[in-house]
Structure 1
Amino acid sequence: MNLKVQALPVALAVAMLAACAPMPQREVVIAGQSSRPAPTPNAAVVTPTQEAVIRAEQADKQSELKQRDRQLDAQREKDLHLKLVQQMMEQNNAFAALAHLDAYDQKWGASRQSRLLRADAYRKTSQWDKAESAYQTLLGNSTSAQSGPVWYGLGKVSIEKGDLKSANTRLEKAVQIDPLNVSAYTDLGLVYLLEGLKDPAYNALMKASQLSGGDTTVKANLALWALVFDEFGLAKDMADQLNWSEVTRNKVLAQANVIKKRIDSKGGAR
C-alpha cells in the first residue's frame, strides 16, 4: 500500500520550528530583590550642614574683599589730599596748604608725611619757630634714613635766620643722608659761597648742576659763584646759556659784589 505524505502548510512548519528553537534566558527576579547592581552613592552630594558652611565662608570672603576695597579707597583719598597740599606748596600757596593740613589731620589723623609738609609750610610762611619745633619733633621720631628731608628743612630755617654756621652743619648732614638731594647741594653751595669757601662751594654747586641736568637756578648760582671769585669766563658762559639780559647780568654782578664785601669783612676767601 503506497502511503502519500502530504506537505504541511508553510505557516504550520514555521510554527513548529519556532517551538523547537531554544528559549531566550529571562532575568530572574526574586521577590524583594533586584538582579541589577545597586547605584553607587554620589560623593558630590552636599548636605545642608555643608551648604551652610560654604555659604558662611563665601560671606566671610566677600566681607574681607569689601573691607580691603574700603581701605584702598581711603588710602587713595589720603594720598590725593597730600598730593594737593604738595602742589599748593610748589605754587607758593603755603597758607592754603596749612588749612588743608588741618582738614587732613581732622579726618585722617596726622601722618609723618603730613607733619613734614606742615613743617615746610611753617617755614615757607616765615613762622621760623614753629618750623624749627616741627622739624625737631620729626627728627626725634625718625630713623637715620628718614631724616634727610628734615635736616634739609632745618638747614633752610638756619639760612633764613642768618645762622650760616648752623646751616652749614645741617645741610651737610642732609646731603650725607640723602646724597641725591639737588636742593640741599644748591643751598649748601650758597652757604659755602657766603662763607668764602671757594672750592667747597664750586663742588656742591657742580653736583647740583649735573644731578639736575643743568637746572637754570643752579646755573644762575654758578654764575654768581664765578663772579664772586673772578672766574669771568664761566660767568659769561652761564649768562649766555641762560640768555640773561644786560639788566639781569648787572643785578647778579651787584649781588656778587655784596658777597665779596661780606667775605672781605670776615678776612677773605679760604
Structure 2
Amino acid sequence: MNLIRQNRWVALLIGVILVCFSAICLLLQIEEKQDIGKLYKPVVIKGTDIHRSNPLLMSVIENQESFHVLKDNQQLFMKQKEVATTSGKSTDSKKLTTEKVEQVNKSTEVNSRLNPPKALFFTRTQTLSQNEKDLSTWQYAVTDKELLLLRKIVMAEAEGEPYQGKVAVANVVLNRLRSANFPNTIYKVIYQKYQFSPVANGRFDRVQPNEDTIHAVNEALNGLKEVSDDTYYFLSLKLADDLTVHNTRTFSKRIGNHSFYK
C-alpha cells in the first residue's frame, strides 16, 4: 500500500489494465451471442419459432412439406378421376342412345311388317320383301278387296293351325300369283276351280279373319316366308279326300296338320 501511495502512476496503470480486461470480456460475450444467434436462426411456421438446429422439428417441417405435395397430388388425381368418370358417363350415354335408336328401328320394322303393303315385288322365281323391291322384275298392286280375300282364305284354311302355318298358306297363294302356271291375280288364284276346298264348300264366305290371321297375312305380304318360293300346294292328310298332290308332288315341309309340297 505504501508502494501504491508513493507511486500513484502504478495505481493508474493497474486501473487501466482492469478496464481493458473488462472491455475484452464484454466484447467476447457479445461475439458469442452473435455466433449463437447465427446457429439458432428461427424459422416461423404459422406463428411458431422453430430452430433449424433441432432435427426433430426439421423432420416435422419436411413431413409437412411432403403432406402438402401429397395433398396436391391427391387433388390432381381426384380431378383426373372426375374427368374420366364424366367421360365414361358420356360414353355410356352415347351407348344408351345408340341402343335406344336400334330398339326404335327394330320396333318400327316390326310395326311396318304388321301393316299391309300397297304393292308386291317379284322376280321370276322369288317373292321379294319391301326392302328388296329394287331387285324386282315386276310388281303387283294389292287392292283392299284382294287383301280381304287373302285374309279370308288363310282364315278358312288355317284357323286352327299355328301362326307359322297361317303364314305358309299365304305364302302358297303368293307363290301361285308369281308363277306363270297359275292365274295372275289374287282373286283368280283363290277362285280357281278345285284348288281351295273352303271356296267350294262355302266356308270361305262365312269366316271373319281374326287378329292372328291378319298379322300372318301382313307379314307374308311384307316378305316373311315359312315355306320356299317353289311351294305351291298344301293339304291335311287327315281331312283330304283327294291325295293326288301327296302322291305326285315333292314333299317340302310339315307345319301343324298341313303338309306342304313343291
TM-score scaled to structure 2, two decimals?
A: 0.28
Which is helix-richer, 1 or 2? 1
Kindly name which structure, 1 or 2, has the bigger radius of gyration based on alpha carbons: 2
- Highest relative contact order (Cα 8 Å, sep 6+), 1 or 2? 2
Which is strand-richer, 1 or 2? 2
